Amino acid sequence: MELPAGPSFRLDGRRALVTGAGRGIGLAAAAALAEAGAHVTLAARSAGEIEAAAAAIRARGWAAEALVLDVTDIDAAAGAVAAAAPFDVLVNNAGTNRPKPFTEVTAEDFDVVMGLNLRAAFFLAQAVAGRLLGAGRPGSIVNISSQMGHVGAARRSIYCASKWAIEGLTKALAVELGSAGIRVNTVCPTFIETPMTRPFLADAGFREQVLSKIKLGRLGRVEDVTGAIVYLASDAAALVTGSALLVDGGWTAE
């Protein structure tokens, strides 16, 4: 009897670009992709962080380089992608949040959050996909969304709007790019303990409220998210596109 071949999660010979890679989910994703065999480019504004991170990855014997880049500078981001060999994998991770009551949100708050979470992600995906299409190569775009792209929450009006938009964008790109073999999916974490979320979670009342909605009873760790990212980047997910992989501990199950 001939058994079906098992799926491969390896990424040997592939090039991956990870934004917001200096800390949190981005850093963990870069390390995980490199461990799976990819040559990883870590992009962020913070030169010191990403250079140290790339060096740490190389010290493990994996392949990594740093790219100092503000992804909200659309022209600079497109130029950086154009100057490099095509990226087989994009992890659109850079993001921010400004939690406020809806009636106190300013135009600046809106522009900052939507500018990074949606506008920058849109045009970076455009640049990466354009290079893949020009080279006639397949690829995988993984947009880091959120459980908040599937539910609503108080004080998260802009953030929810940006992540629901990312979900819609992902489905549209999956439809448009599928014939070229470019898969586009989202990973949707619950609250993960990272430098961005730590100040919010330091509030005991807020932390208790969050934990009450996570059915598995704990906050997420970056390691909980990276398995989903490597899966979607790899051939193990060869038939997966336009999907949202919820890593939310059951938050959205009810």
- The catalytic residues are 159
Q: What is the DSSP string of 59-87?
A: HTT-EEEEEE--TT-HHHHHHHHHHSPPP
Which tokens is 150 given?
């599937």
Which tokens is 2 given?
């001939």
- Which residues make beta-bridge pairs with 246? 188
User: Which phi and psi angles does 195 have, rounded to 5°?
Assistant: -55, -30
Q: Which residues contact 152 (CB under 8 A, 6 or more apart)?
A: 160
Which tokens is 37 given?
């065999």
The runs of H, that is alpha helices, within 115-156 are 121-135
Which tokens is 135 given?
């080279």
Q: How far apart are CA 218 and CA 172, in angstroms?
A: 33
Strands (E), the chain: 15-19, 39-44, 63-68, 89-92, 139-144, 182-189, 244-247
**Which of helix, strand or coil describes residue 246?**
strand
- Which residues make beta-bridge pairs with 65? 41
CB 253 within 8 A of CB 220: no
